[in-house]
Structure 1
């Protein structure tokens, strides 16, 4: 049985086979802020200790010794960026602000509201800290020099950006951005949505897929609409010879005008697998072309817009994350309670468009694979197993979040 006539693959097997095709991209070092949205190509180690000295976590007074009943004589001040120079002895105190360096020999910070001050003398009027170090951030509390602070494959977001800078990094190692070409094909597609004849539909899939790809750090461009001829489609593949990933929309099925497969063969690509046992999105195609020591991957998505979106979510986005070096490229799923019942499912695993309010989820009443309004009105996909039985209100289901493209 060849790859074209083989039965549809289960989703997880198809995803694993696709991701196994991803070739490592070259590593480049970019400035920390320019790495936002990318993935670390190497583990990141701290180049400094944070905090570099013990700091006060509150406004108050730093005192020495174990006797926290006072009184104390105020001998100076330590402010953030302006530490107190010298040591303090038993019975002495230093006025200290949040984030300021703790004076040498200080053993505790007492909150200013727990003290009364008369001239240079302070006395305890409230509670002493328990333990004495309660309001002290010790040196190295966050991380110490040489410690691994972020693993390889970690996405670089706002918090990771701040952490890398705090750890002394100006540049980060990341994989180069994948080059992506997205191709719309079909004689029925109109390039200009303002001039669309009755026998045409506006070419919206390419823009949708380009926007989805743009949720990751890629260099992507769109070509099309491309006419339904082998010559035109093959020429478009030739014009995409610099791409790491080529994504087509439409023409990957078995109709007389579905010409992606023969065009790929003419171009020199070989089919890895075709068809996945999901709904919507069964006629998905994966092919590879090895040339000049590098591998190009072609992902042929269905032409129906919702099918195209769902398969891009489960295949294109994970592939791009894998190319970027993500440790966890697949979308995360969560458990939610049904707010409305669901009917029994058929022989294919189905991803229903739905709305999750943070507590319960309901399926959109319109589930046709051509209905863009339903995907635009949804924020989750509800995962329904093949031959799933009727589900009742409050039954648990698995959902995938759509608003962030399912990024892990």
Structure 2
């Protein structure tokens, strides 16, 4: 495995005091590796798990040509473009049944949705488009359908012997239905990723403890818990750790001995206790970066080890909004990669800014916004008030993140900006 320092040395113009967002994301992505342990789960237990092997379809789906409508199955050659055609109804075919005979010219069958298409039939006319229907005959108006309409072909959804789902797919509700349609009861998935997290700071108190003068309640563990649980990780909450060498060393060692990844909040900013950084570096290879970003400039990343076990470390800032920004734009993709998942990039949309947004070139900014539709139907966005990194309300009220890129300057009202919707993310 490449060392972090080696990977960093390959980055053109690498500057740990002003690392662009894209470079930090690339380095993290190159450094982490997926888990390899696999388990088989019953289908209903596999929701939101990561598929470990390609799932090959044992059958065609659908297994035969079938009707997409309730109506009449017929030969397309019997249709006429300019005049009605009256056909003899030879039989009725229900879903789960079939027609074993052979239709002659001018004949059709009454057919239900999902029923197998009789031999020789290639078209279905929906019953609502027919005329003068009786048990023995039906009239098809000219132009009601075209030959081949409303027929589902055998294997048009899935073909036997071909992959139905690829390894790395996070199994969603539609995937469970697809797997069930193949008659597969168990699927191989990667084991859950174990992530330990804790907050550092003498001023932090947990919910239920008295709030002494100068102290605050720890909110970061609850947002981290929610983000990790939403991602599908097995979470280990280690509480609040004091800024003391012995306590920090014990926490780091316990975390990396019991988890695949460790996430901390606080303790990586300029002015924080030196022994926090020293402790991280003593236990492994950790880079402390000043990323060209707002909010969330200070961040630590690397790998730590204790008693033969190792874990990746994400040292996030202490301010609540900075924690969430750093998690979603640095840790999230890395954790998905560790889970064995292939993760599509976060969806990004273009929206019209309703007001000017001040911005200096030379750093990437993530501002919280409200995305909506304007009077003309175009997407518009406005910033949710004060954007301080400690104002968690700005995240709670927002429904998107406005991404202002590294070289971008001040945005004028009416300019297009890039936004990342929260729906499905938060």
TM-score of the superposed pair, with normalisation by structure 1: 0.91
Task: Give the equivalent residue in structure 1 for 2:369.
Answer: 354
Q: 1:36 to 1:288 in 2, by over 3 A?
A: same
Q: Which runs of 5+ in 2 are unaligned?
A: 9-13, 374-378
1:21 aligns with 2:37: no
Contact in 2 for aligned 1:279/1:348 (Cα 8 Å) = yes
Q: 1:330 to 1:298 in 2, by over 3 A?
A: farther
1:372 aligns with 2:392: yes
CA deviation after TM superposition for structure 1 residue 70, in Å: 4.5
Q: 1:129 to 1:42 in 2, by over 3 A?
A: farther
Contact in 1 for aligned 2:86/2:140 (Cα 8 Å) = no
Q: Could you say what secondary structure the match of 1:325 adopts?
A: coil
1:262 aligns with 2:278: yes
Task: Give the equivalent residue in structure 2 for 1:134.
Answer: 149
Q: Which runs of 5+ in 1 are unaligned?
A: none
Q: Could you say what secondary structure the match of 1:362 adopts?
A: strand
CA deviation after TM superposition for structure 1 residue 244, in Å: 0.3
CA deviation after TM superposition for structure 1 residue 139, in Å: 1.3
Task: Give the equivalent residue in structure 2 for 1:147.
Answer: 162
Task: Give the equivalent residue in structure 2 for 1:251.
Answer: 267
Structure-2 separation of matches of 1:141 and 1:192:
55
Structure-2 separation of matches of 1:124 and 1:292:
81
1:53 aligns with 2:68: no
In the TM superposition, what are the counterparts of 1:142-181 in structure 2 within 5 Å? Answer: 142-181=157-196
CA deviation after TM superposition for structure 1 residue 128, in Å: 5.3
Task: Give the equivalent residue in structure 2 for 1:391.
Answer: 411
- CA deviations over 1:163-207 (Å, ceiling 9, x no partner): 222234323332211110011111101112563223110011011
Structure-2 separation of matches of 1:86 and 1:252:
78
CA deviation after TM superposition for structure 1 residue 303, in Å: 0.6
Contact in 1 for aligned 2:366/2:402 (Cα 8 Å) = yes
In the TM superposition, what are the counterparts of 1:315-354 in structure 2 within 5 Å? Answer: 315-328=330-343, 330-345=345-360, 347-354=362-369
CA deviation after TM superposition for structure 1 residue 386, in Å: 4.0
Task: Give the equivalent residue in structure 2 for 1:234.
Answer: 249
1:221 aligns with 2:233: no
Selected match of 1:203 from 213, 218, 234: 218
Q: Name the Cα RMSD after superposition.
A: 2.5
CA deviation after TM superposition for structure 1 residue 105, in Å: 2.6
Selected match of 2:204 from 166, 178, 189: 189
Q: Aligned residue pairs: how many?
A: 403
Q: Which moved more, 1:313-322 or 1:147-156?
A: 147-156
Contact in 2 for aligned 1:355/1:380 (Cα 8 Å) = yes
Task: Give the equivalent residue in structure 2 for 1:108.
Answer: 123
Selected match of 2:21 from 6, 11, 32: 11
Q: Which moved more, 1:228-237 or 1:326-335?
A: 326-335
- CA deviations over 1:296-326 (Å, ceiling 9, x no partner): 1011001111111110111221121111122
1:117 aligns with 2:133: yes
Q: Which moved more, 1:359-368 or 1:85-94?
A: 85-94
CA deviation after TM superposition for structure 1 residue 245, in Å: 0.3
Q: 1:366 to 1:258 in 2, by over 3 A?
A: farther
Q: Could you say what secondary structure the match of 1:312 adopts?
A: helix
Q: 1:344 to 1:300 in 2, by over 3 A?
A: closer
CA deviation after TM superposition for structure 1 residue 159, in Å: 1.9
Task: Give the equivalent residue in structure 2 for 1:402.
Answer: 422
